[in-house]
Amino acid sequence: MHEAWPGLAAARRGRPVTELCTDVAGTAVDTLGDAGESAKDAAEDAWTGPPAETEAPRLPSLPPRKVLMSETTVSLTEHEILALLAFNDTEPAAYTRDVLRLSGAEQRETLVRAGLATLLVREQAVLQGENLVLQGAVQQIAGIMATAGGWLEVAVSTPQTSYMLFAVQSAGGSFIMSAGTHGVHSFNPMPQDKPILLFALDVAKHYLESTDPVSKVSVRAKHHGFGTEARVATLLRNTDGTVRLALGDEPGAPLTEPATGHELEEFARALALDGR
């Protein structure tokens, strides 16, 4: 049984289209762009030794089902995500925009208008009088972004693939966004009882255990929360099979070697916010 998108009251009310557009400051958007290359760059900061000779292929459509926990997928363009963020002008929505690399300066109003138009054309939203009302899963995605309290970025790099994932969690629901190329990204709901940090551990466990044991693997995670400094940690498996842990965002961070069998436990501890 697939995890269903939960309903959130924050996303149910409509907004006048003119209000949605005039609420947005005219600024440019720093888009995700090529997410595969972003993940590869982030991972290589912590690698020891030369990069793999084979260029990583473009982003796969989704990670394996055992990582995502769901096949209920919604694809949205960056224009549409910006439009959903404009529905609720909250601090969590602004933080979500930053985490998803969608903050910026000029022409955001134009991009929001484009997103509203394609949501209408794709029947993800309907007009009720002068109000635009979201429908189905995008209604819940907008509500989660407007009420979120936890965010997680995960960058994966192996000789075969590299990509980025984002998890956003609120009291009423959570989702995973798989960053795609050409400005189109995939959303899946997360089980509501699943702590957001466990998603990073699922991804790390999957790639450390399922890839060729002589291949390099990097899983870098950044855990955000309100009122506390974000925590960053990277698990690295080298070609000799050793697993090392790097802490922080700075290139060349010192590496420690976790006790065998306790790699994921130390990864989780490094990412915990305020001891949680």
Which residue is listed with tokens 């490094």? 270
Quick one: average pLDDT of 103-124? 87
Residue 55 lies in a domain: yes
How many domains are contained in the chain? 1
Domain range for 83 is 9-271
- Whether 224 contacts 152, CB under 8 Å: yes
What is the reported pTM? Answer: 0.76
- Calpha distance 17→201 (Å, rounded): 41
Q: What is the pLDDT of residue 1?
A: 38
If one compares 192 and 190, the residue with the highest pLDDT of the two is 190
> Among the listed ranges 97-111, 112-126, 151-165, 176-190, which one has the minimum average pLDDT value?
97-111
Give the mean model confidence (pLDDT) for residues 115-133.
Answer: 94
Nearest to 272 by CA among 221, 238, 236, 235: 221
Whether 32 is covered by a domain: the verdict is yes
Higher pLDDT, 213 or 160: 160
CB contact set of 216 (below 8 Å; sequence gap of 6+):
47, 52, 157, 158, 159, 236, 237, 238, 239
SS3 81: helix
Residue with tokens 């855990």: 223
Q: Is residue 4 part of a domain?
A: no
Rounded Cα distance between 153 and 16, Å, is 33
DSSP string computed for 199-247 = HHHHHHHHHHHHS-TTS-EEEEEEEEETTEEEEEEEEEE-TTS-EEEEE
In sequence order, the 6+-apart residues with CB closer than 8 A to the CB of 23 are 86, 89
Residue 1 falls within a domain, yes or no?
no
- 38 pLDDT above the threshold of 90: no
Per-residue pLDDT, 42:
40
For the record, the structure tokens of 235 come out as 């698990």
pLDDT at 165: 96
Mean pLDDT of 49-70: 34
Q: Is residue 47 part of a domain?
A: yes
pLDDT(250) > 70: yes
Residue 222 lies in a domain: yes
Handedness of CA 93, 94, 99, 103 (dihedral sign): positive
The CA–CA distances, whole Å, from 214 to 25, 48, 201, 238 equal 50, 15, 21, 7
Instruction: Round the average pLDDT of the chain to a whole number and report it.
Output: 78
Average pLDDT over residues 247-264: 86
> Does residue 2 form part of some domain?
no
**Domain presence at residue 101:** yes
